[in-house]
Amino acid sequence: MPLGERAGDNTESRFCGVETGFSDDMPNMLNRHLVSGKFDFVVAPLMDPAYRPSLVQKDTFGSAVLPFAGSDLVLSPSQWSTHVVGKISLWIDLDSEDETLRMDSETTLRQEIAWASHLSLQACLLPAPKRASCANYARCVNQILQNLNHMQLFLRIPLVMSDDDSLGADSETLVDSWETWNSFRLLCEHHSQLSIALDIVSTLPSANSLGRWFGEPVRSAIISTDCFLTNARGYPCLSKRHQMLITHFLNHAIQIIISGKSVHPRAILDPDASHAVEERHPLRPYLDYIAYLYQRMDPIPEQERFELGYRDFLQAPLQPLMDNLEAQTYETFEKDTVKYSQYQRAVCKALLDRVPDEKASKITTILMVVGAGRGPLVRASLEAAEETGRRLKVYAVEKNPNAVVTLNSLIRLEGWEDTVTIVSSDMRHWNAPEKADILVSELLGSFGDNELSPECLDGAQRFLKQDGISIPSSYTSFLQPVTASKLYNDIKAHKDLAHSETAYVVKFHNVARLAPTQPVFTFTHPKPSDTESNNRHKKLQFVIPDDTGSAIVHGFAGYFDATLYKDVHLGIEPSTATPNMFSWFAIYFPLREPVCLDRGATLEAHFWRCCGSTKVWYEWCVTSPSQSPIHNSNGRSYWVGL
């Protein structure tokens, strides 16, 4: 049964499993753990652990019946599929120096996965690599993955990274299980069906070290009963850090699996009676505690529920200058009340600065909304005028003829005919009848300038008065390196150069942010000099914190922060993001090949903004600790049309 009800959560993290030993009576074991224990699935060995291929006596025909836990008929196909995760025999050691053990291990691995695939199991749990060098283990798994159907393979990895303090100055003795995973994953070519089952231990590494795993394909977290403490009433509980980690896992659709023997009383005493109530499943108190953590999590906010379907999904950025937006796109952005309230605040402050109180009834401010769309900025500007008691004359300039139709209807409906003049034209080509006091636009993309706000506003600047105000007045883009295994695999699946050199709009969720953001390009309006180029170049150096450990960079997350007017800001840069605003997701610049970083390494990257006669594009590369190719040279894969 699910851990609880949480609005908007339809992920698999609502279900909790239990790790079991081998049983040749699978129906009875399921009944014990699922019916009595109320777990949702079992992680169970499919083959008798005493089996060794080299010890089996074969019959006359050279074959033998393998000691599986019953035939496929003992459970229905749906029971196998939904209630059983296969657990590959723990004894296998494919990198052993003992050739017999190595050959037995390879044979058994193939037999057990073949049987699990025959049962249509959704996943199999592979034992953790037993030694630092696991090349043969990875080779065998990679061979299996090439011909595997839908089934996922979970590699068991202990969640450990020793600190310098605990192991002295000899850095070679540091234990970092992420490096084991990374080595295995690289040998298997980042295969999308190879995932992680993290073994949670009683001592957790640093927050930065833990953070790496949220960009990896972690599908389950196995927590031993040894990790649990005992509260004042004798019930199991977890430390604050373990609680926080489990909550993060549940938020990232990672399933929890309880493992081990009960180290707490099996009978729960009725507080109103002197006798014990009916004895329950020995691990039920641990399940109840995980359910308690799940149930006390905050409900998923309505905004996030709307965004669930977009999480870690690659979307091509809009081309609003080259293409005309559709009604549905306009409608989505117009629902972002936070954005327009910020614009209204900015216009209010600009009107108050522009017109003193004593002249409020005499001076009419000329305000031009360039890129008016279906009118939300026109409405925000008129409401700002009403709020401040200033007189306003508005020009609504819009190049999309379909949006102009809606604008005309809005003006008639609101009775704004005497105040608002609609101009159906590209702002870069319109000859304004008079100059503007205030120029208002919403041309910002996820990376600030990536929807060509600089080029558009440069073209509109000629009809802004010398002392006129531009809203926004400036904006800066930001970047940070990220681990994003899912995004990397989604791009790799296309098997071409273009997709690995394209910038995408992404609602980041399962990513690890490896270093703080750094500013990249800044644009100011009105532009200080007509001769200033919109081409840009920036060298960035990101220092990965020492306590993070080794890491892998799949690409860069991009954001922006804009100053609308004076102290009124708008943006998605994580440390200063405008709360509850959903108009923009981040942008993602992928790397064709991931870059591996050692503990405490510095990542050096270069980004360019390039302008041509018909398009604008970005180029990027990594120069340290290793060299990458320059991505998107001449805008061959991704560009924004002028």
* Angstrom distance (rounded) from CA 262 to CA 33: 14
3-class DSSP state of 560: strand
- The 436-441 sheet, strands edge to edge: 420-424, 391-398, 364-370, 436-441, 464-471
Query: Would you tell me how many other CB atoms lie within 10 Å of the CB of residue 485?
Result: 24
- Of all helices (H) and strands (E), which one includes residue 476? strand 474-483
Question: Active-site residue 386, yes or no?
Answer: no
Distance in angstroms between the alpha carbons of the first and the last residue of the chain: 55
Tally the C-alpha atoms within 13 A of residue 70's C-alpha that lie toward its C-beta. Answer: 17
Six-digit token pair at 613? 């006669």
Residue found by looking up tokens 């609308």 in the block: 564
Which of 106, 112, 451, 573 is an active site residue? 451
* Angstrom distance (rounded) from CA 468 to CA 608: 30
Which residues carry a binding-site annotation? 330, 339-340, 398, 426-427
Which of 112, 179, 442, 573 is an active site residue? 442
CA angle 105/110/111 to nearest 5° reads 95
- Of all helices (H) and strands (E), which one includes residue 490? helix 485-492
Would you call 116 exposed, middle or buried from its count of C-beta atoms within 10 A (0-12, 13-18, 19+)? buried
Indicate if the alpha-carbon torsion angle 163, 168, 169, 172 is positive or negative. Answer: negative
Calculate the dihedral angle through the C-alpha atoms of 211, 219, 554, 310, rounding to the nearest 10 degrees: -100
Question: Which backbone phi and psi does 387 adopt, to 5 degrees?
Answer: -65, -35
- Report, in this order, helix, strand and coil percent for the chain, each rounded to 5: 30, 25, 40
Which residues carry a binding-site annotation for S-adenosyl-L-methionine? 330, 339-340, 398, 426-427
Question: Active-site residue 451, yes or no?
Answer: yes
Instruction: Tell me: cis bond preceding 282? Omega within 30 of 0 counts.
Output: no
Query: Would you tell me how many other CB atoms lie within 10 Å of the CB of residue 456?
Result: 21
CB 190 within 8 A of CB 138: no
Indicate if the alpha-carbon torsion angle 497, 502, 505, 506 is positive or negative. Answer: positive
Tally the C-alpha atoms within 13 A of residue 9's C-alpha that lie toward its C-beta. Answer: 23
**Furthest-apart CA atoms within the chain: distance in Å:** 109
Active site residues: 442, 451
